[in-house]
Amino acid sequence: MHAARRLRAPVLGLMLVVTASPAAERIFASSEYAGALAVIDAASLEVVRTIPVGRGPRDLELSPDGRWLYVALGPEDAIAVVDPASLTLERKLPVGSDPESFAVHPNGHIYLANEDTAQCSAIDPATGEVVARIPVGLEPEGVAVSPDGSRVL
């Protein structure tokens, strides 16, 4: 089991709290106001790069294989797809109205809480296709997927 480290540092003009395992080389933190990700070296806890990703970046999560870093862009109704190795923005996926947060299923699909439409959307990031829109009630704020992928909450 890994012990977590907590970071408190001014990043992109905001105070952020980020947790990462000691094995991680980089920590990624989103700044909604700066429209960017801060890339933080896990050893030195210094910001080594910023990546402009678009308006209002919020939630972020790696794909199951670690190849992609997904970032919710609420005002753009999109998910930014970042290559965490090259630190480049690869593309944006249109995903529905105001994605607040999301979770990545073990099969790679992205499940999003779309606040403005009271839905959970399922996206296939390989094709960019919305494969499901599920009504969930007013202003959904969070999504979780069980570790085995059998449930989306």
Q: What is the CATH number of the domain that holds 148?
A: 2.120.10.30
Domain match, 71 and 101 both? yes
For residue 124, give its domain range.
56-153
Domain match, 28 and 71 both? no
- Per-residue model confidence as pLDDT tens digits over 112-145: 988 888 889 999 999 999 999 999 988 888 899 9
Across 55-66, average pLDDT: 88
Domain match, 64 and 30 both? no
33 neighbors 14 (Cβ within 8 angstroms):
yes
Domains of the chain: total: 2
Domain match, 24 and 96 both? no
Domain match, 67 and 123 both? yes
Kindly tell me if the per-residue pLDDT of 30 is higher than 90. no
Domain match, 91 and 40 both? no
Domain match, 75 and 32 both? no
Kindly tell me if the per-residue pLDDT of 153 is higher than 70. yes
Domain match, 100 and 151 both? yes
Q: pTM, whole model, 2 decimals?
A: 0.84
Domain match, 145 and 97 both? yes
Question: Which residue bears the tokens 């947060």?
Answer: 101
Domain match, 153 and 102 both? yes
Domain match, 80 and 139 both? yes
17 band by pLDDT with thresholds 50, 70 and 90: very low
Tally of CA atoms within 13 A in the half-sphere of 84 that contains its CB: 22
Q: 19 burial class (0-12, 13-18, 19+ CB within 10 angstroms)?
A: exposed
